[in-house]
Structure 1
Amino acid sequence: MRRKSRSEYMNRYYRIWRITSMFVAFFVQVWWYKKQERRVGEEAMAERWSKLYHRMAARFCNTATELGGLLIKAGQFFATRVDVLPPEITSELAQLQDAVPPAPFDHIERTIAEELSQPLEAIFTSFERTALAAASLGQVHQATLPTGEKVAVKVLRPHIHEIIHADFEAIQLTMLLAKIFTDLPKQMDMDAIFREMQQTFSNELDYRLEAAHSERFKKSLAVFEKIYVPNIYRQYSTKSILTMEFIDGRKVDDYAFIEENGIDRKELGHLLIRSYLHQVVNDGFFHADPHQGNIYVKADGTMVFLDFGMVGEIRPMMKENLKNLLFALVERDSEKMVEAMGNLGFLRPHANVNLVRRAMQFFLDHHSSEQMKEMERTKNLGPLGSEIREFIYQQPMQIPAHLIFLGRAILTVTGVAFGLDPQMDAQVAAPYIKKLMDDTDGGLANMVLKRAKSFGSTVLSLPTLLARTLKKADLGDLHVKVDNLGDITRAIMFQSRLANRLVLALLLATSIICGTILYTQQFIQEAKGAASIAALLAILLLWHSRQRPRDSSQPFHRNGPF
């Protein structure tokens, strides 16, 4: 086994020191700002926090660009974590580009010779010394096989495994310090985030996985005549080398090339959306990094997907819960929404479910169906996206890694598609949305049946629940729990309204039960009278429910930075 040189060890410890010291400086600044909060006005302090976040993110981007390695990938990963980081940081990190100077050609030549057990000139009849593209983990060169086929050869950067290992050590040490000296562990599951990063980026260091992903996508997307995935040359590929068919085309956002070759931009945009929905809905296996550099267009209008290092998978249970969330959103049922979100892993451990439910109801109440239709008509979803991002950040919520990649991928693909066809209509996605709702593992009919069963069991349990509640009320043991909303005065004002609603709800339930019993016993007139009383009580309950105490509609804000 080759022993590491002194320079490699120094490089490792230097990287750990640079990364750790940067984050420690961040922690010290956050601690100092928090000390100043008491003597500085809230408005002035908010402005200071905003400037600090920008400075921190800018320093991280500069350090990541200088050191490369995991930091660039980590920055791009955290740019998607709108659930745990403020917008000043995520917006800055989103500009971080995974483009670095290429590694020396001597390393490329040596790596190929070691991995394939032959000198480079014995494998390829030609090999371009200048890289076509260079990123933090690897770089790509054009070459020609003895058979005359043009190929693209992707090679890992020198000592990348040691660099990534050192970066993981530095980030793990940083998280340990954060647990000891900051309040961040109360607001995010740092161990889970570290595991997500470790799994995601470690997979990108094994090109055999990317080769397998590419072959799987080639089979899946074969149903589209105008979609192509390059062939993989397994005999010239290893863990550190990936040799694939060279694609003579341009990036999908090269509109001049598209116009020059008479390619229909609208058709191309629709093809992109359909192919991606096919991945998500039909296969449950999708390209997790579909930016413009990974989608090419050939002169004949064929769309080519490249770079399958990052992929995502939607398992059946996740798909079922996503459907439940979609149904709950359509029905504007905040309780069902929170239940589905919990099953999907959106809620943090020990999150106050009642608080989240009220926050969801607040969000739904302030986004009517008419507003949603207007946004769809104008295609101006920007404000809604900003509100959702701020909403997620304000609540005790987190976004699971698999859904982060799915959400980012869908947003990226949508942006590329609208660039091709600014007038694109949502109807292009209708067949896939219908299939998602009608799949055999759930489906609209099954969903309705489940809701009917749930409603039936609730009705059957009402008499017992009502008797128990009334007994407690008679004994003076009935208590109403109200979570702390941060405003004691508002909570006290709400008590009388809550009591009125409770009494009306109990009377409504009693009327419904009595009417049902009378109807089943053929006392039709009496049942109609009970139904009339129930209708009146329902109207009164609805009227009371729409009465809001002053300032009660304000959203719930997270305390402190991050």
Structure 2
Amino acid sequence: MRKIPLRSVAILSFSIGGIYLFDNKFNARTFQRNGLTIWNGLCIGLDYKINFRPDKGDKIDELHERVAQRILRVCKFNGGLYIKLGQAIQVQSAILPPAYQRTFKTMYDEAPAVDFDQVAKIFQEDFKCHPDDMFDDFERVSVASASVAQVHRAKLKDGTLVAVKVQKPDIKKQMNWDLMAYKALMHTYEYFFDLPLTWTAETQDKHLRAEVDFINEGKNSERTKKDLEKIRSLKDKVYVPKVFWDYTSNRVLTCEWIDGVKVTDKEGLARYGYKLHDVMKTTIDIFASQIFVTGFVHADPHPGNVFVRPHPNKSKKHYQIVLIDHGLYVEESIVFRHQYSLFWKSLFLMDTDTINQICQEWGISDPEIFASATLMKPYKPKTALHIATTRKFSLQDAYEMQMALKERIKTFLSNTELIPRELIFVGRNMNIVRALNKELGSPVNRINIMGNWAVKGLGSDWSYWDGNAKTFNEKQQQLLGRENSFIDFFSQLSFVLKSRFNYWMFRGTLLLISIGFYLTKVRESVGNWIKGKEESSKGFEDVLDDRMKQTIEENFGKVFEG
């Protein structure tokens, strides 16, 4: 056997060690992070390809567990944007297999902070001075740390308390490689599994790059403040902290300091004496108004970005919702906002023609799946939203049923070029808001609130309540020149009756959903009282999650066992 020369071994070892040291010291661990990502990505793909087979149907939960643990390890080791990936999985975990629920439940815990020396270096590069030269007091230890930045409490020279958000130094170095690795994996999975996965990549890339520009975040916050001030019912209930532009750069954002508690802090809200129902309703009103009315949507409203404080100008019983972290936003087109509002209204009216028409224009071939994903509850055409299925199904062949799910997802997006990119981040917003409501025990009926705001988004034109018919103005134009006033009168009368009927049908559907919601609450309260329990074990969102899982099982098998 030929011996390997010691010199070659030494050169190889020296080279590997040199690359490792360079990667750690000057390259923000880019080679290690992306090597880990690609390796684990390939392992996950092969694991599913090899073990997702008919003869291993009873091992599916073990497969999900392995994959979930792999993804979690990659997210925690790589940090940065990978934390956001883990948080996105955590948001969706309620309708994912239990392995993902167990594994990703800690993803909103604080990320590690960087040392103050690195913070000072960023100030020196951006402002040509030390933080102590800019502020009367700058706390060395951060008060919060997230995926791309950390926050320090400081005091301006005039005594004003501020929150200084400082970007972590390696984020921009890592971003290009992170996004390249993400795109490469999406292309690989699309090839292996024959599923449309890459269509979101460019949109995700664009918005994530905008998120790490703190000048852009400051502008977003000021625009959001102006938008919300125009909505009379919310103007006094929501607050966006002021930006101090003289202390802001692309990597440093300085805003006024706000004391409060997280929107999901039950004990904190109880100390203030605020009702969970009121706080959660206002929170959903804020984000629903963005989706359906203003069209400028906060795409990352997780618990760390939504606070509650006592109203500064009113009695203690009044509160304000405080929105922070305005980096990730999506701006809806006017056409999309109108279509999305009309889509929601049509769900309540069981107007399948309009639902199908909108889905066709958006390149979505399965309106039923899309409607269920939008509502985050099972949706069946011609079945009122307040009616739920109770049918039970047993698993006959896990592999075949899950393959059926894959095929349906595959054909769900019939033309990805037509899909509005706004849906990516609007869906993210709605998923996170649903999770907030669930964490508080589902004190409000989220679906009803969203439905009401969808109607506000359509405005006061009665023509939107006339099914798929033309607008009232178009009808009037058609009737001009007709000499038969008798026909003109009955055409207008028909329009008035039909539009009012549809409107009150919508209101009736909301009422029935509300009755069902409160009956569920009463039943749980009585059951807990009989059993001696203090709190409800399942809220409204839990019930919807269970029904979503049951619906998937009915169609595709028990993919959620375990």
Given the superposition, is the C-alpha separation of residues 366 and 439 from structure 1 closer, same or farther in structure 2, using an over 3 Å criterion? closer
Given the superposition, is the C-alpha separation of residues 32 and 153 from structure 1 closer, same or farther in structure 2, using an over 3 Å criterion? same
Pairing of 1:207-226 with structure 2 (within 5 A): 207-222=214-229, 223=232, 224-226=235-237
Given the superposition, is the C-alpha separation of residues 373 and 162 from structure 1 closer, same or farther in structure 2, using an over 3 Å criterion? same
Alignment pair present for 1:403 and 2:418? no
Given the superposition, is the C-alpha separation of residues 325 and 555 from structure 1 closer, same or farther in structure 2, using an over 3 Å criterion? farther
SS in 2 for 1:220: helix
SS in 1 for 2:29: helix
- Kept in 1: contact 2:92–2:431 (CA 8 A): no
Q: CA deviation at 1:430?
A: 6.5
- Kept in 2: contact 1:295–1:306 (CA 8 A): yes
Partner of 2:178: 167
Alignment pair present for 1:72 and 2:95? no
Partner of 2:196: 188
In structure 2, give the amino acid aligned to 1:200.
H
Q: CA deviation at 1:419?
A: 6.1
Aligned pairs, number: 424
In structure 2, give the amino acid aligned to 1:198.
D
Find the partner of 1:368 among 374, 377, 383.
383
**Partners of 2:87 and 2:173 in 1: how far apart?**
21
**Partners of 1:391 and 1:451 in 2: how far apart?**
42
Q: Residue deviations 1:397-448, cap 9 Å, x none? A: 2586532432332343355357668553576566534323445597325854
**Partners of 2:357 and 2:130 in 1: how far apart?**
59
In structure 2, give the amino acid aligned to 1:373.
H
**Partners of 1:446 and 1:452 in 2: how far apart?**
15
Partner of 1:545: none
Find the partner of 1:202 among 204, 209, 230.
209
Report the TM-score, using the length of structure 1 for normalisation. 0.65
In structure 1, give the amino acid aligned to 2:436.
V
Unpaired runs of 5+ in structure 2?
A: 1-20, 312-318, 372-377, 390-403, 414-418, 476-486, 488-552
- Kept in 1: contact 2:464–2:471 (CA 8 A): no
**Partners of 2:387 and 2:555 in 1: how far apart?**
27
Partner of 1:113: 124
Partner of 1:416: 436
SS in 2 for 1:73: helix
Partner of 1:317: 335
Q: CA deviation at 1:205?
A: 1.1
Pairing of 1:498-537 with structure 2 (within 5 A): none
SS in 2 for 1:293: helix
SS in 1 for 2:141: coil
- Kept in 1: contact 2:138–2:154 (CA 8 A): yes
- Kept in 2: contact 1:64–1:71 (CA 8 A): yes
Find the partner of 1:434 among 452, 455, 460.
455
Partner of 1:242: 253
Q: Residue deviations 1:204-262, cap 9 Å, x none? A: 11111110010011112224113211000111111111011010111122333333333
Partner of 1:443: 464
Alignment pair present for 1:297 and 2:334? no
Find the partner of 2:142 among 131, 134, 159.
131
Given the superposition, is the C-alpha separation of residues 110 and 433 from structure 1 closer, same or farther in structure 2, using an over 3 Å criterion? same
Q: Residue deviations 1:453-509, cap 9 Å, x none? A: 99xxxxxxxxxxxxxxxxxxxxxxxxxxxxxxxxxxxxxxxxxxxxxxxxxxxxxxx
User: What is the CA RMSD across the aligned residues, in angstroms?
Assistant: 4.1
- Kept in 2: contact 1:154–1:242 (CA 8 A): yes
Alignment pair present for 1:256 and 2:267? yes
SS in 2 for 1:373: coil
SS in 2 for 1:449: coil
Find the partner of 2:70 among 59, 69, 82.
59
Q: CA deviation at 1:111?
A: 0.4
In structure 2, give the amino acid aligned to 1:258.
L
Partner of 1:539: none
The percentage of aligned residue pairs carrying the same residue is 22
Q: CA deviation at 1:129?
A: 0.9
Given the superposition, is the C-alpha separation of residues 99 and 402 from structure 1 closer, same or farther in structure 2, using an over 3 Å criterion? farther
Q: Residue deviations 1:60-118, cap 9 Å, x none? A: 11221122022222333456679xx9646764556533632101110001101221122
Q: CA deviation at 1:327?
A: 5.1
- Kept in 2: contact 1:325–1:337 (CA 8 A): yes
Pairing of 1:15-34 with structure 2 (within 5 A): 15-33=33-51
- Kept in 1: contact 2:110–2:145 (CA 8 A): yes
Given the superposition, is the C-alpha separation of residues 266 and 122 from structure 1 closer, same or farther in structure 2, using an over 3 Å criterion? same
Question: Which stretch of the first structure deviates more once superposed, 413-422 or 267-276?
Answer: 413-422
- Kept in 2: contact 1:210–1:307 (CA 8 A): yes
SS in 2 for 1:141: strand
Q: CA deviation at 1:132?
A: 0.9
In structure 1, give the amino acid aligned to 2:196.
M
**Partners of 2:113 and 2:308 in 1: how far apart?**
25
Question: Which stretch of the first structure deviates more once superposed, 390-399 or 337-346?
Answer: 390-399
Given the superposition, is the C-alpha separation of residues 365 and 255 from structure 1 closer, same or farther in structure 2, using an over 3 Å criterion? closer
Partner of 1:477: none
Find the partner of 2:364 among 328, 334, 346.
346
Unpaired runs of 5+ in structure 1?
A: 358-362, 377-389, 455-519, 521-553
Partner of 1:275: 286
Given the superposition, is the C-alpha separation of residues 444 and 355 from structure 1 closer, same or farther in structure 2, using an over 3 Å criterion? closer
**Partners of 1:302 and 1:152 in 2: how far apart?**
18
SS in 2 for 1:187: coil
**Partners of 1:132 and 1:355 in 2: how far apart?**
42
Given the superposition, is the C-alpha separation of residues 319 and 237 from structure 1 closer, same or farther in structure 2, using an over 3 Å criterion? same
Partner of 1:147: 158
**Partners of 1:241 and 1:264 in 2: how far apart?**
36
